[in-house]
Structures are given as C-alpha cells and as structure tokens.
Chain A
Amino acid sequence: MLNLVWLVPALPLAAFAAISVVLWRDRRAATWAAWLAIGASWLIAWAIFAGTWGQPQLATEPVRVGILTLPTGAEFLRLGFMVDPLTGIMLFMVPFLCLLIFVYSRGYMDGDPRYSRYFAYVSLFATGMLGLVVSDNLLFLYVFWEIMGLCSYLLISFWFEKESAYRAGLKAFLTTRVGDALLLLGLLLLYSRTGTLTFSEIFQADVLSRLADTVVSLPLLGTVPVAVLASLLIFGGAVGKSAQFPLHVWLPDAMEGPTPVSALIHAATMVSAGVYLVARMFPLYAAAGPGNGAMTTVAAIGAFTALFSATIAVAQNDVKRVLAFSTISQLGYMMAGLGIGAFVAGVFHLVTHAFFKALLFLGSGSVIVGSHHEQDMMKLGGLRTRMPVTFWSFLAGTLALAGVFPFAGFWSKDEILAEASHGGHMLVYVVLTLAALLTAFYMGRQVCLTFLGQPRSHEAEHAHEVTPFMYVPVAILAFMATFLGLMGVPADFPILGKLLGENPFHHYIGEMLTLTGAHPEAHGVNWPVMLISLVLALLGLFLGWLVYGRRPLEAGQPDPLRRVLGSLYPVLENRYYVDEFYQATVLRAVHWLSATFTAIDSRWVIDPFVNAVGRSFGRLASRSSSFDGRFVDGAVHATARLADAAGRALRPVQTGKVQDYLLVVATTVLLLLGVFIIL
C-alpha cells in the first residue's frame, strides 16, 4: 500500500492534464475529473496514513519509492518519494482539505466564465502540495514548491481583469521568489557539502555532525557552522512561503483571489509548506545543538510575527484581511514552536490550524457570497439569523482559533505555550501569550461585527444562506475543528488523557525526534499555563463582545477602537507602513544612485561610456519619481530595477558599428595573450 504513494500527487496531475487538454469545454466533466482525482488521492492518502499509524520505526527508516536516477557529479542522485510519520500526518490533512474545498468551489465559482480553468489550476496546485509532502529529497521538494508558487500566482490573479488582482499576483510571485532564491542557495550549499539531497542521507548522524562541525567564515556574521548557515538559508525560503516578517507583505494582498483559493492555498496548505519545510529539516536545525543561531532566529522571527500581525488584525475591516493577518500570526506561532525545539507541538498546531483556518475562510466566503459580495465588516452585521449554518460553523472556528476548551486550537496552542514555559523561553512565552489574547479579541470583534447586531447595509439586509455545496463542507470542517484536538490531549489530563489513549499524536510524530538524537518525551499538563491561556482567551472574546457586541454599531459609525487607541489605530490600520517603508527605501536607494552617477557624469563628460551610464540613471530617476506613490510593490523591485539599470547601462556598448565589436575582439585576444605570455 505504501508503495502507491506516488499516485497521490499523480492523480491530480492527471486531472489537470485532462481538464486543460480535453475537458475544458465541459464544466460538468471538468468538475467531476477534479473531484474524482482528488477523491481517489484522499482515499489512498488516508489508507497510507492508517498504515503508518502505530509504526514508529518509519521515522528512522521511511518507505522509499525511487523515481529517477540521475548521474550528476561523481555520484548518482537517487530521487523519489517516501512515507514517514511527518508525511503521514500531512497526507491526513492535505488531501482531505483539498477535497472539501474542491466541493465548496463548485458552489463558489458557479457561473464564472473561467470555471474549468479554475479547476485545472487547483488540481495542479494539489499536485504541487501533495508532491511536496511525499518528496524524499530537496530537489523534488523545490520543484513542487515552485509549482505551488506558480499556481498561487495564477490563482491570485485569477480575475486578472482587476488591476489589483493582477498586481497582487505579481507581488506574491516576486516576494516569494526572494525567499525561493535563498532556499535554492541553501539547497546548493547542502549539496556542495554533502553531495546528496536526499533527506535520509543528509540526516545520517555522521553527516549532521560533520555539517555542524565545519565552519565557514562570512563577512559581518563571522564564523558560522555550515549546518546553521544552510538552515538559515532554507528558513529564508520558509519565510517567503509562510509569509513571515519581513516577507509577509504579499499574503494580505493575495486575498484578491477567489475565497476557496484563500482557504486552500493561503491559509491551510501552501503557506504551511514553509513550516513543513522547517519541520522536515528539523534535524539539520537541531544539529548545531540547542539554542544555536538558526533555531534562535526561527523562534525570534516566529514569535515576533505572531504578535506583530495579531496587532494588525485588530484594526482591519475586510473580512478576509483579518483572517489573512490571523494566518500570518498563527504561522508565526508554529515557527516559534519549532524554533524553541517544540517539534511535536509545532506540527500539531500546523495540523489543527489548517482545519479551523480553512473553516474560517470558507465561512467568510459563504458570508461574502450570501451578502452579495460585501466584504467590509463595517457594512455587515446581523447575519446570525440569516445564515444560521454558516454562523454556528464560523463560531466553532472562532472558538478553536481563540483557544477555548475543548476546541482543537486550545490543545495545540497550549502545547506550544507549555513547551515555551517549560524550556525557559520566557520571552517567547510572554509574546505568544499576548498574541493569544489579541487573537481572541479580534476574533470576537469579527464575529460581533459580522453576525450580531443589525445589518448595516442593503446587501447584508438581504443576505441569504448559501447552497449545500458550500455549507456542507463548512459544517464538516466545523466538526473537525471541534474534535480534532483530542488526538493530542496530554496523557495526564484528567479523564480525557487516559480515555483517548495517552496522547497518540505525540507517539506518532514524536519518533521523528530520534533523528536529532533526542528522546521524544511528552511533558505533563502545565496547569498554570493552561489556565492562563484559557482565561486570556475568554477575556479576549469577552472584550470583543464588550466593545462591539454589547452595543452594536450603527451604519456609518466609526470603529470605537479608533477612539481608544488614538493615534496608534492608523498605524495598525496601515500595517505599520511596511509596504510604504519598502517603497521609500527602494526609491531612496535609486535616487541616491542616480545622484551619484549624475555627479560622475558632469565630471567625466569626455568618456562616452560613463556618460551613457549617467544618462540612463538620470532617465531612470525621472521615471521612478513619476511612479512615486503609485507603484506600491516592495523591496523585490529594487533588484529588478538595479538589474534593469545595469542592463540599460550596458546597452550603449553595442554601438552598432562592427569595427567597435572587432576592437573588443582584438583587445580581448591581446589582453589574454599578454596575460599568459607574461605569466
């Protein structure tokens, strides 16, 4: 059975091919092809998951299925797919969510002129994500990683007639490419030092210790063990994909895509691929000992992002944007968990979060469809009676995200907090606890504004419940969000612990830790931590109700928080001006360069080459200043512009006069002759 793992990504790929070549004319056929493929994938995946449950030896000796043998370098590169507990748990989560969201999409995308194309894209995306989790080597992982990036780009700009959608797609693509470039460098570094890209070969104890012991010296950073450097570079990729600070700017804009896409790609699966990558490479991160630079960086960035974006979420008014920042925040949680060494807790939160965040997004999608495409929470309200199924499901998701007993998020979030407190990472603990309070608050705010009170617009007034294609998946997810956490209840929790088999999740995933040389041990219940987080969750929800639920807003009334927070509110509303900051720094850098080159220009007028360089930078500057303010994209464009400028500067070398070319030839030949005759 486990040998059939290659079918899991292959089936959606077949669906993609079939839809894009043959079936695109017929919507029904396209839908069924996508459904059948992902359904079959899901069945196989759960069978595989069931087969790995209770097989701890798979952690150290995964089942491998070879696909390719490539002669590169002095050795052969054997690449293929594999199954181990980490893959198993991802196979439990990903295909199931894909299936539900595919079904939901049938309702959401109904009537769209590019309906078939949508199903082709999401099928290709499923290939990417499923391929990623079953790859047994970094090369395949990278390939599938890029496929996902491409699909993400295509799906964000799916409604490319909208300027904002097209720009958002491009921004996502370019921003994540910054991370991808780092990831590729990390991959190259590992390959050059180990000669292999296969996980099981890299995670040999002697290879890991060699990587941890050899150091490279870098400018600024000093000497760094190879293991740490590689980990940091790989983390760069994860930062891009999982939208961690400072590359988080693309994810909120990505909400321009269809809502099921937001749920599938930008909440549940693709963005968690970054976390998965860190979890997958965990032995490498841990190789240089606890508290090394790589782990600390992961923890710091994760914790900071968790709090940072939770504060932003408080002041957003778009239904989906709140959830987008919430996603960034929760991904930060997982990163922080992995960074402090809480591997099991991080993966646990990854799984539970995928379910309840998909639920919340699908719920918000239902709200959007039900209320005739009104996304501004200030104009919604009173949907509780108009959309009851959606409301109760959304509420389950909210309680799970806020971390209320016994919903899924309570167990996983608490485990991260407990590990942080247990391991003595007090700063991380405090930051994450604060973030938890804010999380509960903004979710309370969202539920009150959207579902309670009276409708604040015509659209919300006439809202209606959505079709079964949409609310059935949502209801199933609500069920999962409520009960899924029970598979990771601490063993010594009263009654429940014993009843549920003494934390089966930990037994399943914990074995992966043996690769790092550590012994997997589950800590007992930390009552103070658990009570504090529960109290804060309830307090947050209560505060949310106090501000927005007790006296519902009237139409057109400003956010009461605006008065409370004073001048801080616009800062949060504008996301700490990070986008603007990138804008300002990029422009300033270009301006500075242009000024410098213009100065050179005025002094060295004789030299036509320098002249040309100066002129082109001058032109660039005038163009960029006219773009000022309109051109919103971030630091990524700096590279593009520099390359642009360099290319422009090189063009005048090509004068069009053949004798100039010949002069270059003669000079090159004579120069080389001179060099070699003299040496």
Chain B
Amino acid sequence: MNALTTLGLLSPEILLLITALAVLTLDLIWHGERRTGWLPYLAVAGTLAAIVATLAIYGRGESILGEMMAADDFALFFKLVALSATALVILGARQHIAARARREGEFYFLLLSATLASMLATAATDLISLYLAFEFLSLASYVLVSYLRGDDFSVEGGIKYFLYGAVASAIMLYGMTLLYGATGTTTLRGIAEGLNRSAGPLASLAIPISIMLLAGFAFKIAIAPFHQWAPDAYEGAPTPVTAYLSVASKMTGFAVLLRVMVVGMGDFQPTWARVLGAFAIVSMVLGNLVALQQPNIKRMLAYSSIAHAGYIMVGFVTHGLDPVGFTGLNGVLFYAMVYVFTNVGLFLGIIAFENATDSTKIADFAGLFRRSPVLAISMCYFLFSLTGIPFTGGMFAKIFVFGPAMQAGPFGLLLAGIGVVTSVVGAYYYLNVVRTMFFVAGDASAPAVPVGRLVQIGLVAAAVVTLAIGVFPQPLVDLASRSAVVLGMLP
C-alpha cells in the first residue's frame, strides 16, 4: 500500500480537518456579522465535501496505517451517519449560538473536531487509536456542552459530563491495559487470536475485562445503567449540542462497541450478548417510563434517546445470540441512520422554537399549531417517526431490530416483546407533545415563530430523508446490509 492510497482513504478526514482549521483561522481574522455569517456555510460545505469523499471511497475496504485503522464500509457508513448529523446540527446552530455566545467560529471548529474524532473512532482497529480517538471526541464534547460560559445550566452540565466521562474512560482504559497484558498485542484482530489461542485462564478473564471496556462504550452510547449523565448534560447543553450528542456521539459509541465486540471478542458473543441484552431491557423500560414525567422537552428527549439506545442494542444483541449472517447488525446500521435524521430534525424544530421564545418547556408549545402550522406539522412528523408510525423511517427501523430479535430464541423474543410494549408507552409522551401543539389552546396573541433560513433548509432535508426512508426503504436497507457484512472481514 502506498502513501497515496492511504491519503485517498483518509480524504474525508483530511477534508474535514482542513475545513475545521479554515473556520478557526477565518474566525480569528474576520470581524463583523457580514463576514462571520459565511462561517456556517463554509462548515456545511466542508461536511458535504467529506460526505462526497466518503461515498467515493465506498466499497474499497482496506486496512491502513499499519492496522491502526480500517477504511471499510462499516466505518464509512458510520462516518456518513456522523457527517449527516454534523451538517444538520450546523444548520441549526447559527442563530442559536450567535445569540448566546461571543464567538461562533470556535463552536463550528469544536463541532467539526468532534466529528473528525467520531470518524477516526469508527475506523479504529487498534486499542491505541481507539482510545485516542475516543478521548478526542470526549474532550471536544465536554467543551461543547459547557460552551455557554455565562449559563449556569450549561456549565453544570459540562462539569458533570466531564467527571462522569473521565471516570468511565479511565475504567475503560484500565480494562484495555489488562487486555493488552493478556494477549500481548493491541490490535483487535490480534486480541481475538490471543484470546482464542489460550483457552484456559485467559478465556475466563475475557468477559470481566470486556465489562470494563463496556463502561466506556456504554457511557458514550448512554445506555442504562451508564446513562445518568445524559439527562443533565442534554438539558444543560446548548440545544444544537444536545442534538449532536444524542445522535453523532451515541452512534459513534455503537460503531466502536460493534467493532470491538464482533472483531475482538467474537468468541464470547453469547455471553456478552446477555449482558448487553440486560442493559437494553433496563434502558427501554427506564428511559420510556421516566420520559413520561419530564416537563422539559430536551430532558424528555434525553430519556427518549436512552430508550432508543435500548432499541438499537436489541438489534446488536440479536446478532450476538445468533451470529450467523448479519441480520441484527444491519438493523443497527439502519436504525442509526434513521435516528439521525428523525431526532436532529425534531431538535431543529425545538431550536427554532427556543430561538423565538427562549423556552423548552413542553407546556409552552401549546397552540404552536395556530402560531406556526408548518413548524408544528414538521415536528409532529418527526415525533411520529420516533413513535414508529407507518410512512416514517422510524417504523422500518423498529421492524429491522425487533424482527430479527423475534427469531433469535426465547431471549430475543423477550427483548422484542419488551421493546414493543415499551414503545407503546413511548407513544404517550411523543403524542403528548403533538397534543400540546395541536389541541391545547395557547396564548392567542402570540406571534408566529420565525424560522431562520438555515434551520428551514435543515428541517426540509431531515423531513425529506425521513419520509423517503419511510416510503422507500430499500436503498438504505441494501446499503446497511452491505456495510454490516463487511464487519469482521478485515484485520
């Protein structure tokens, strides 16, 4: 492999890095609203360029940088997920951040850095690169959460997120060192061989060690019982950051979890599948029940995202229970992509509302339909998709994780059953927002909610994609299946 090929396979990351640095530099030298107004366009353009580059190298599938990274379709799929999320979040962030913080250029820089870290993490095939990318992502996220330095909630959310994350990743690191000691190598492929070779005492260590690793991954995913940072950080963070954390950061956690567990711990799948299955059950039940009680929509969506992490985990557990084929895995990938567009779409609506009213209380959404029918209807559509109502991507996503689970023996059936029942509970709190917007009379004299042009673009894009997937899921199904099959075929 020559250097040029490596550069080609890294082109999405390089493009994103250049964009991030350009944004940072221009933010320093440009002054005045007229010029800095171009920064979000630049950031989005860079992200779109990275998406194009990612699509261009799809299907190449090679290991690069001395087995440190893999540019396989699996990683590329999750890069698409992260990049799409970033593009949408930047569209929503402009007005929100400009009104609340002194500099906005830094914000885009941090966001792009976090995405860069996500992309590296999804591709990492070695403990060292994995840890590095993971910490890079975490550090950028901590700063993003507490970006509004004058806001008590933002700062508090940031410090809690930081302390929780630092401890979780420290435990994960400790587990990684033990894994290195047990197998003498840091590459995932080598670890799998090492664990396989010595069936004796090492094999019995593998599961405890993997549990320490799980602390780090589960923290990123925000799956119960490693979820408790999420409601506080989500509520405190600036809303665009909340949107970002709930999709990009979460899905990166899933990508890493999938790769480490399938490639590195493949021989112990049935065992950890049960542990993860238990996490999924706790998440689905707890997330949905507590979400019922939340008066603040950001916090409600935090719990909802915990529940969705549970649903997605069901797909992965199915694969663990029955590793023949990649049936549960493609469900995870499909769900990840759908969730990005649905959830960020909803958050864009919330951002628009918050920009106008400075409130995120569900009760304040009363009468929104009267004030801004288009905004209310689009939010309603995203809520339907989260509920899993037909003609939304969300319905197919649920089918693809619960469907395979039903065929994976009694445990799978149990997971699917709990998933279905808890999603019915979920319908109550999603539809409650719809009810508030449409049927509860609000302040009749309140003016229409102005929606900025960038947010409009984002809303339309998210709605179109969610609808397209809901009506014609086949292309995404194929892409997800193709990308899932690749996992495990590379060193």
- Residues of chain A at the chain B interface (Cβ within 8 Å): 68-74, 77, 139, 143-144, 146-147, 150, 157, 160, 166, 177, 181, 184-185, 188, 191-192, 195, 640, 643-644, 646-648, 650-651, 654, 656, 658, 660-662, 664-665, 668-669, 672-673, 676-677
Contacts and interface: CB of A to CB of B under 8 A. Distances in A.
B207 A647 contact: no
B145 interface: no
Interface of B: 159-160, 163-164, 167-168, 171, 204, 207-208, 211-212, 215, 219, 225-226, 228-229, 231-232, 271, 275, 286, 288-293, 324-325, 327, 330-331, 389-391, 395, 399-400, 403-404, 406-407, 413, 416-417, 420-421, 424-425, 427-428, 438-439, 473-474, 477, 481
B389 A146 contact: yes
The A contact surface, by secondary structure, is: helix
A166 B441 CA distance: 12
A662 B293 contact: no
Contacts of B477: 70-71
17 contacts: A70-B400, A71-B477, A74-B327, A147-B391, A177-B424, A185-B420, A188-B420, A650-B290, A651-B290, A654-B232, A658-B163, A658-B164, A658-B232, A664-B225, A673-B211, A677-B204, A677-B208
A672 B279 CA distance: 12
Contacts of A646: 289
A72 B399 contact: yes
Contacts of A676: 207-208, 211, 271
A77 B421 CA distance: 23
Nearest to B161: A658
Q: Pick the 3 closest A-B CB pairs, nearest first.
A: A661-B228, A72-B403, A647-B289
A181 B422 CA distance: 11
B327 A654 contact: no
A582 to B, nearest CB: 18
B265 to A, nearest CB: 13
A663 B226 CA distance: 10
A77 B219 CA distance: 35
B424 to A, nearest CB: 6
Contacts of B219: 665
Contacts of B439: 157, 160, 166
Contact of A672 (B275, B390, B473): B275
B481 A71 contact: yes
Nearest to A674: B208
A217 to B, nearest CB: 14
B487 to A, nearest CB: 16
B282 to A, nearest CB: 10
A195 B407 contact: yes
A147 B211 CA distance: 43
Given A71-B327, A72-B400, A656-B232, 17 more contacts: A68-B474, A71-B481, A77-B403, A143-B395, A157-B439, A177-B427, A188-B417, A191-B406, A643-B292, A643-B425, A654-B228, A658-B232, A661-B164, A665-B167, A665-B171, A665-B225, A669-B212
Contacts of A650: 286, 289-290
A188 B286 contact: no
A195 B404 CA distance: 10
B292 A188 contact: no
B290 A181 contact: no
B229 A188 contact: no
Contacts of A664: 225, 228
A211 B335 CA distance: 32
B330 to A, nearest CB: 7
Contacts of B417: 185, 188
Contacts of A185: 417, 420
Contacts of A654: 228, 231-232, 290
Contacts of A188: 406, 413, 416-417, 420
A658 B416 CA distance: 32
B179 to A, nearest CB: 14
A658 B160 contact: yes
A648 B164 contact: no
B407 A669 contact: no
Contacts of A68: 473-474
Contacts of B212: 669, 673
The B contact surface, by secondary structure, is: helix
A547 B163 CA distance: 81
B412 to A, nearest CB: 9
A665 B215 contact: yes
A328 B324 CA distance: 50
B167 A662 contact: yes
Contacts of B171: 665, 669
Contacts of B208: 672-673, 676-677
Contacts of B427: 177
Contacts of B438: 160
Contact of A665 (B226, B391, B399, B400): B226
Contacts of B288: 643
Nearest to B160: A658
B77 to A, nearest CB: 16
B391 to A, nearest CB: 8
Contacts of B325: 74
A153 B90 CA distance: 37
A71 B266 CA distance: 23
B29 to A, nearest CB: 39
A377 B54 CA distance: 71
B289 A643 contact: yes
A660 B390 CA distance: 40
Contacts of B168: 665
A418 to B, nearest CB: 41
Nearest to A157: B439
A131 to B, nearest CB: 10
A188 B406 CA distance: 7
B370 to A, nearest CB: 12
A224 B293 CA distance: 39
Contact of A662 (B164, B291, B407): B164
**Most chain-B CB neighbours within 10 Å: which of A72, A184, A668?**
A72
Nearest to B206: A676
Given A71-B477, A191-B406, A647 B291 contact: yes
**Most chain-B CB neighbours within 10 Å: which of A69, A146, A662?**
A662
Contacts of A669: 171, 211-212, 215
Nearest to B171: A669
**Most chain-B CB neighbours within 10 Å: which of A71, A157, A166?**
A71
A661 to B, nearest CB: 4
Contacts of A181: 420-421, 424
A646 B303 CA distance: 14
B180 to A, nearest CB: 18
A381 B477 CA distance: 63
A143 B390 contact: yes
Given A177-B424, A188-B420, A665-B168, A74 B324 contact: yes
Contact of A648 (B293, B390, B421, B481): B293
Contacts of B207: 676
A72 B211 contact: no
A650 to B, nearest CB: 5
B421 A192 contact: no
B205 to A, nearest CB: 9
Contacts of A160: 438-439
Contacts of A660: 228
B375 to A, nearest CB: 16
Nearest to A195: B407
B238 to A, nearest CB: 20
Nearest to B426: A643
Contacts of B160: 658, 661
Contact of B420 (A144, A184, A195, A672): A184
A125 B182 CA distance: 62
A219 to B, nearest CB: 16
B413 to A, nearest CB: 6
A139 B438 CA distance: 30
A630 B346 CA distance: 35
Nearest to B162: A658
A651 B477 CA distance: 37
B232 to A, nearest CB: 7
